[in-house]
Structure 1
Amino acid sequence: MLELQHIKKTYHVGDTETKALDDVSVAFREKEFVAVLGPSGSGKTTFLNIIGGLDRYDSGDLLIKGKHTSDFKDSDWDAYRNNSIGFVFQSYNLIGHLSIVANVELGMTLSGVPKEEKHRRALEVLEQVGLKDHLHKRPNQLSGGQMQRVAIARALANDPEILLCDEPTGALDTSTSVQIMDLIQKLSAERLVIMVTHNPQLAEDYADRIIRFQDGHIISDTHPHQERPKPDGFHLKKTKMRFLTALNLSFNNIRTKKGRTFLTAFASSIGIIGIAVILSLSSGFRTTIDDFQTDAMAQFPIVISRQSAEVDMAAMMEQHTQMLEDQDEEAPPEEIILTDPDSTIKMHTNRFTGEYLQYLKNIDPKICSSIGYTRIVSMNMVRKTDSGIIPVSFSSESKDEDGQESSAMSGTMSAIGLSSFPEQLDQEETSYLEKNYDLLAGQYPAAATDLVLVLDSDNTLNKNILENLGFDTEGKESFDFNDLIGAEFKIVSNNDFYSETPYGNYLPTQDYEAMYNSDSGITVRIAGIVRVKENAGIGILNTGIAYSDALSEQVAAMQQESDIVKAQQESSKNVMTMEEISEADKDSLLAVLGGDTTPYAIMLYPATFEQKDQVIQYLDDWNEGKSTDDAVVYTDMVETISSMTGDIMDGITVVLVAFAAISLVVSMIMICIIIYTSVLERTKEIGILRSLGARKKDITHVFDAETFILGLCSGLLGVAIAWLLTFPINSIIASMASLENVAHLQPLHALILVAISTILTMLGGHIPARMASRKDAVEALRSE
């Protein structure tokens, strides 16, 4: 039973008219056709509002199956409308962008009916109202009578207890009105039908019971009903709209406005396009830089030298701060201010113990492909030529008129730098030379005594190198490879190369024939001629002769027990010049003479750029727990360069993205305006959804779903346009800077930008979405 009783409060109708309902007590049987008659717009509107719970009224108490509605929450009213009442409106109130089947399914969707059951029930009620042949149509493709039938089918879909009809024939012609009234009368056999009308003829022809209202009072009731009080037996099934349903509603609405949707999405995507292009260029340039750094890995290995300079950042910052303070003061006119650069640099001596050298050799070859050593042992060499035995060297220095090299130590120091190629740790991998250098003639070194001649990328070579190797370059502009391949040289021992003078010092002898014929020397030969590969970046080897570290070790082993080395070890003077020398200079001279086999510097070449950090970690593990003096300091040139370039790229990217992000804020404001316009356009749809039991938060979800679709579309459109722009951008950059495929949009960046676009758009549209949820349902239904 539904009962309206004892209302003694003022009730507001619309914005101006005020009516009072005094001592009203009305009860309805479950199966009855009740016509509520009253002057147009007064009692009808009041009764509809109270029965439907669509409006806010002051302290009215509606008793539904013994339950007082004064205790109802908004969610209870929503559930009540969805489960208990089916509304048939005078103006149909169908959602135009949905099919008639979807219109009928909507109420069942809110009550959580499964998809298959919902569709079956919708087809069943549409067939029941005579629309079996029109299931594929939309509301705007139907006549007025057919649209009213759809409204009736929608009202019946959830099998409500009450069918509430508001002037169901008010917008229909006479013949169609008769058909609709006959259908409604037939439905009253299964449920209570309440028809509110001001047409007495309709009431007389169809109703079982007629209640007349005037000025808010019941003036007559043809069949009053008395019902004994009942316990509370009313149970409400809460309604809920899934976000997928909200998406479907909004998508169908947006689909009817394709042009506006596209322009809105495009305008919103401008900021995304700008940021995406910036990130594409930033990512591309960073990739290009990383590729270059990877190619240059061999040139800039992790270097461990005996003497390492460390910058004291604290001291440097203090000095810099002091300098800035001094700039604010006037400098003395006749004074020079001195600075000490040594105060910011600390020299550290690395101790290359046998244990440490073995530790380096034990590094995992999977992370460190090769290791190179620089030793400063001198190569005392002679060569047999057509003109006899002559002294030769690996130097690139020119000779003076006396045939002496312009740099006194050029021959002995030829090994300093990168004249020896790295030793391959992983024997299963291709050797360093084979990986980075093309073989032009001969073969790659197979033994320690095999040398290679390294040419520039254009096959050029300093002629001094060939002259110092004993080749006649007079009048020649080029050499045939075959003239050089197989050329032999003899590395002479110190005992054959130096002799002690009567004064007790040692000087080179001039008996080159004896040197060459000595059995103690080491014969080496040019095995191949190589040139750095195009895709290898910059090679680490100097042009000229390159050899393996194994050869340096052999030479050092040969010289270690020589007389000059022993004499130098026991003397505090330079045994060649007899001048006093420091301990450090003595150590250096012993290394040159072959008395010290410890490397001067060690270079580690990570297998890949990414594995550099693992090599660094391996080196740091050695220093763990050791004092500062015992720690071994290394220099990571790649990290220095990549860090510097990375910081520059990051700075530029942040600034450009910040500028581009301004347009995102503008887009968010624009979306807010667009959604507010959509709220105004869909006001009636809001009222329809509320009458079907949609909650306020469901209305919010509908417009949030619309902003979600717009944000997703604008993000996808922006990313797609930015990706297409990378092609002309790459073409322009390639023509201007000879860099290929610089602009490259990373998939991760694309996904993040789409997410940002969607989130910002939803934030911009959430305010008007909340405004939509607060709209009065009755007023929304009255809007056009």
Structure 2
Amino acid sequence: MLELKHIRKTYRVGDIETKALDDISVAFRQKEFVAILGTSGSGKTTCLNIIGGLDRYDSGELVIKGKKTSDFKERDWDAYRNNSVGFVFQSYNLIMHLSIVENVELGMTLSGVSSEEKRKRALQVLEQVGLKDHLHKKPNQLSGGQMQRVAIARALANDPEILLCDEPTGALDTATSLQIMDLIQSVAKDRLVIMVTHNPEIAEKYADRIIRFQDGKIISDSHPHQERPKPDMFTLKKTSMSFFTALKLSFNNIKTKKGRTFLTSFASSIGIIGIAVILSLSTGFRTQIDQFQQDAMAEFPIFISQKAAEVDMDTMMEQSKKMQDQVKGAGEYSDSKEVYLYDPSESQIMHQNVFTDEYMDYLNGIDPEICSGIGYTRIVNMNLLRQVDGDVVPVTLSDSASGSGSESAMGSMHLSSYPKELKEDGGSYLQKNYDLLEGSYPESPTDMVLVVDANNEVKVDVFKNLGIDVEGRESIPFSEIVGLEMKLIPNDDYYVKTEFGTFLPGTDYAAMYDSADAVTVRIAGVVRQKEDLGYGLLGAGLAYSDELSQMIIDTAMDSEIVKAQKDSDKNVMTMEDLDEETKSSFLSYLGGNATPYMVMVYPNNFSDKDAVTDYLDAYNEGKDADDQIIYTDLAATMSTMTGGIMDGITIVLVAFAAISLVVSLIMICIITYTSVLERTKEIGILRALGARKKDITRVFDAETCILGIFSGVLGVVIAWLLNFPINQILYNMTELENVANLQLIHAVLLVAVSTVLTMLGGHIPARMASKRDAVEALRSE
């Protein structure tokens, strides 16, 4: 029961001020056909005012099923319009981009009716109004009478208690009007129908009750009703619109404007295209750099030296900037006549790595699945003799003109000893990284190889120090080198103790050579770095295994010279005073110290470096700084530097490209506002059907969501297609293949960014749409 009662003062209905007599009550029975006859649009205003919310009276009150509307909240009015009131408009007010079935289903959608039930009831009411044969059509394919039937079916679909008809025959011819009125009269058998009309003949013929208005005043009521107070029996099912429904509404609307939608999406996608192309190139160049680094540094080990420098990065950057400024001429030059001194040690900290037995055991326990081998550089001298033309002469493995016996690896990135593989079935380091040119790979610790560079070149000093005559020769056949033998002389045979207690190298080389303890070593083969190996750690010259060094140390440990040196603080050969560090180095040279000078850990591949460094870091956990072991991963350092440069370039370029996204944001805001203006009547229809303000916002948010997704996908597809000509141009210029490469994760993220930004740009107009007055929206054309 809808009841207006006890109106004593002026009340406002829309734009009309209505004067009513004291004690007049206007009530509507649950089942009757009431015709409201009026002038000046007062009856029409009354009907529309129910759509907008009947809570705008200056005095009096509206009571619905015992509940005062003064207690209504906005969502209660939305639910009431959806649950209890059906509207039939003079101008039909159908949503043209929906089918007639979808128009009928819309109110039920807001009520949360299931899809199956919704379709069933829509077909029932359409059949009831005689449109069974037109289910597949859109509203603009129907006649005026048929569209009004659709409007009646929509009003009936939610089984409302009240049917409000706003001049339902005003836009129809006489014959069609009679058909529609007969249909409305049949509907009135089981519900209240309130019809606003200016046609008294229709009112007299069909209405059970006629209320007449004139100049905004009730002048008569043919069948007044007195209602007794009733308890509050008011219950409503709250309305809501899912985002999926909003998407469907917006998608159907967008389909009617294909050209504008495409141009809008294309304009919005320009920023996405720019960023996608930049990311494609950045990813491609990074991949090329990473691949080059992996190829070049795949066998690059992690170095662990007894002395590790921890450089202060701030100081290093400051010094680097000074050098760059001076090169560019931008630095400040001193006018002083003095030389200023500085200590480079102040800008770095020298850390002493202590290779304990515990640490060496820890290293040897590394997982072979992540580490292919471990190499050692030892400062141990080899007492080598060779027989040349019947004479025995001392020789060295050095590549320097001085022929020093100390390992050149101490000051060079190239090493002379190769690592031992941790996996027995994985092949040796030499076999995996070096091609055999002549002879064979080493089969025992006493076998050496001659390493040549890409041009088969080796320093001439290598052969001079081996006692090979190179005078006037430009090359030496491999056959002359392979099989060359030398003898390794133990310390006790090589060094002679003098009467002064010092030790000197002996001179009876023949006796040393014939000693039973002498060990024969030979050059087993000639090898060269494989073409696909980016960087070879073994320098051109002679290379041997660490097992040979260890064999020398095991023999030298019990030699007299080593024992004497351990007990003395002086050099047992020169009698010079030694500090602890120098003594340790000299003992290592004599073979009396098994601790390696440097350890090289070889990851299985470039990607396993992180696992290896994690293993090395785990040893340092919980230890004091002095007890920690610091390592140097040059490959990672170089990768970080190049990666940082690429990241910086990418960020700058993306920032420039992102400017177009801001422009797109503004454009979407304008486009959405235009759509709001175009769909004003649709807003009113949705509100009349019980849609909440947030549902209206959701409809336009859904529209911008669709535009955002479409523009993002369009931008990504165009950027992907641009990769092909870009790659061809880059290949012609640099011979780099497939540089531009758009990653799937980047594509997905860009579509997401496009969607979010577009929805942000359209949300303000969407909020404006939700605040539109329903009555004013329905009046718009």
TM-score, normalisation: structure 1: 0.90
Match of 1:285 in 2: 285
Q: What is the aligned partner in structure 2 of residue 376 from structure 1? A: 379
The amino acid across from 2:616 in the alignment is L
Which residue of structure 2 aligns with residue 776 of structure 1? 773
Q: Which amino acid aligns with 2:362?
A: Y
- Render the CA deviation track for 1:673-699: whole Å, top value 9, x for unaligned: 111111001101000101111111110
* 8 Å contact from structure 1 (residues 672, 768) kept in 2: yes
Distance 1:630 1:189 in 2: 97
Report 1:549-560 matches (<5 A). Answer: 549-560=546-557
Map 1:428-439 onto structure 2 (within 5 A): 428-439=425-436
Paired with 1:79 and 1:583, the residues of 2 have a C-alpha distance of 92
Q: What residue is the counterpart of 2:307 in the other structure?
A: 307
Q: Which residue in 2 is equivalent to 1:420?
A: 417
Aligned-pair CA distance for 1:549: 0.5
SS at match of 1:113: coil
Give the Å deviation of 1:553.
Answer: 0.8
Map Cα deviations across residues 6-53 of structure 1 (whole Å, 9 max, x no partner): 3355555666x65545555222222222221112x4222232134434
Supply the distance in 1 between the matched residues of 2:664 and 2:608 (Cα, whole angstroms). 43
CA distance in 1 between partners of 2:645 and 2:332 (Å): 33
Alignment of 1:224-373 (within 5 A): 224-297=224-297, 300-312=300-312, 333-373=336-376
Structure 2: gaps spanning 5 or more residues: 324-329
Does the 8 Å CA contact 2:306/2:597 hold for their aligned counterparts?
yes
Amino acid at match of 2:353: N
CA–CA separation in structure 2 for the residues paired with 1:298 and 1:780 = 70
1:428-467 equivalences under 5 Å are: 428-466=425-463
* 1:644 positional shift: 2.7
Shift of 1:332: 6.5
Give the SS at the match of 1:529: strand
Are residues 629 and 4 of structure 1, via their aligned partners in 2, closer, same or farther at CA, if it must alter by over 3 Å?
closer
1:5 is aligned to 2:5: yes
Gaps of at least 5 residues in structure 1 are 398-405
Q: 1:610 to 1:220 in 2, by over 3 A?
A: same
From the superposition, tell whether residues 21 and 725 of structure 1 become closer, same or farther in structure 2 (CA, over 3 Å). farther
Alpha-carbon contact 1:573-1:581 (below 8 Å) kept: yes
Supply the distance in 2 between the matched residues of 1:351 and 1:138 (Cα, whole angstroms).
86
Tell me which residue corresponds to 2:647: 650
Structure 2 match to 1:157: 157
Distance 1:725 1:485 in 2: 57
**Do residues 135 (structure 1) and 135 (structure 2) align?**
yes
| Alignment partners' CA distance in 2, 1:385 and 1:586 | 35
Secondary structure in structure 1 of the residue aligned to 2:34: strand
- Write the deviation string for residues 404-434 of structure 1: whole angstroms up to 9, x where unpaired: xx2241x432464511111222335444333
Cα separation, 2, equivalents of 1:458 and 1:13? 102
The answer to whether the aligner puts 1:407 opposite 2:405 as a matched pair is: no
| AA of the residue aligned to 2:178 | V
CA 1:761 to 1:8, structure 2 compared with 1: closer, same or farther past 3 Å?
A: farther
Corresponding residue of 2:80? 80
Deviation at 1:208, TM superposition (A): 2.6
Structure 1 partner of 2:544 = 547
Secondary structure at the residue paired with 2:225?
coil
The one-character-per-residue Cα deviations of 1:742-775 (angstroms, maximum 9, x if unpaired) are 3333333333222222222111111111100000
> How many percent of aligned residue pairs carry the same amino acid?
66
SS in 1 for 2:424: coil
The equivalent residue for 2:744 is 747
Q: 1:447 to 1:169 in 2, by over 3 A?
A: same
Farther-moved stretch of structure 1 (243-252 vs 642-651) = 642-651
Residues of 1 paired with 2:479 and 2:41: CA distance? Answer: 116
Instruction: Find the residue that maps to 2:522 and give its secondary structure.
Output: strand
The correspondence for 1:716, drawn from 705, 713, 718, is: 713
1:375–1:415 CA contact under 8 A, matched in 2: no
Aligned pair 1:63/2:63, yes or no?
A: yes
Once the two structures are superposed, what CA deviation does each residue of 1:553-610 show, in whole Å capped at 9, x if it has no partner?
1122233444554555566665556666655444333322323232111112233444
Give the one of 657, 675, 679 matched to 2:676.
Answer: 679
Whether the 8 Å contact between 1:376 and 1:415 is mirrored in structure 2 is no
Tell me the amino acid that sits aligned with residue 97 of structure 2: H
SS at match of 1:668: helix
The residue type paired with residue 253 of structure 2 is: N
Structure 2 residue 706 is matched with structure 1 residue 703: no
* Distance in 2 of aligned mates of 1:138 and 1:261: 21
Letter in 1 for 2:175: S
Partner deviation per Cα, 1:716-761 (whole Å, 9 max, x = no partner): 2222233333333333334434444333333333332222222221
Amino acid at match of 1:750: A
Report the CA distance between 1:85 and its aligned residue: 1.2
Deviation at 1:130, TM superposition (A): 1.3
The residue aligned with 1:401 is none
Cα distance, 1:47–1:432 mapped onto 2, change above 3 Å: same
Amino acid at match of 1:588: S
Alpha-carbon distance in 2 for matches of 1:530, 1:170:
102
Which segment is superposed worse, 20-29 or 706-715? 20-29
Q: Is the 8 A contact 1:49 1:55 kept in 2?
A: no
| Alignment CA distance shift 1:319-1:376 (3 Å) | closer
Residues 559 and 141 of structure 1, relative CA distance in 2, 3 Å threshold: same
Whether the aligned pair in 1 keeps the contact of 2:36 and 2:210 (CA below 8 Å) is: yes
Q: 1:30, 1:628 → 2: CA distance?
A: 90
Deviates more, 1:763-772 or 1:46-55: 46-55
Cα deviation 1:463-497 (Å, max 9, x = unaligned)? 54355445565666556655544443332334444
Which one is further off, 696-705 or 443-452?
443-452
3-state SS of the aligned residue for 1:646? helix
- Which is worse superposed, 238-247 or 199-208? 199-208
Secondary structure at 1:172 match in 2: coil
SS of residue matched to 1:78 = helix
Q: Which one-letter code corresponds to 1:775 in the other structure?
A: R
What does residue 52 of structure 1 align with?
51
Q: Distance in 2 between matches of 1:419 and 1:713?
A: 62
Aligned partners of 1:55 and 1:776 also within 8 Å: no
- Post-superposition offset of 1:80: 1.1
Alpha-carbon RMSD across the aligned residues, in angstroms, is 3.2
Q: Give distance in 1, aligned partners of 2:684 and 2:624.
A: 79
Report if aligned partners of 2:437, 2:528 keep a CA contact under 8 Å in 1.
yes
1:635 is paired with a residue of what secondary structure? coil
User: Structure 1 pair 95/567, CA: closer, same or farther in 2 (3 Å)?
Assistant: same
**What is the distance in 1 between the residues matched to 2:418 and 2:685?**
82
In structure 2, the CA distance between the partners of 1:535 and 1:253, relative to structure 1 (3 Å rule), is farther
Three-state SS of the structure 2 residue aligned to 1:553 is: helix
2:516 counterpart residue number = 519
Separation of aligned partners in 2, 1:537 and 1:35:
95
Q: Give SS of 2:739's match.
A: coil
How far residue 709 of structure 1 moved from its aligned partner, in angstroms, is 1.2
Please give the per-residue CA displacement for 1:101-123, whole angstroms capped at 9, x wherever unaligned. Answer: 11110000001111100001111
Mapped contact 2:52–2:773 kept (Cα < 8 A): no
Distance in 2 of aligned mates of 1:214 and 1:111:
38
Q: Which residue of 2 aligns with 1:400?
A: none
Kept in 2, the 8 Å contact 1:64–1:234? The answer is: yes
Residue of structure 1 equivalent to 2:630: 633
1:216-264 deviations in whole A, cap 9, x for unaligned?
A: 2222233333333322222211111111111111111112212221222
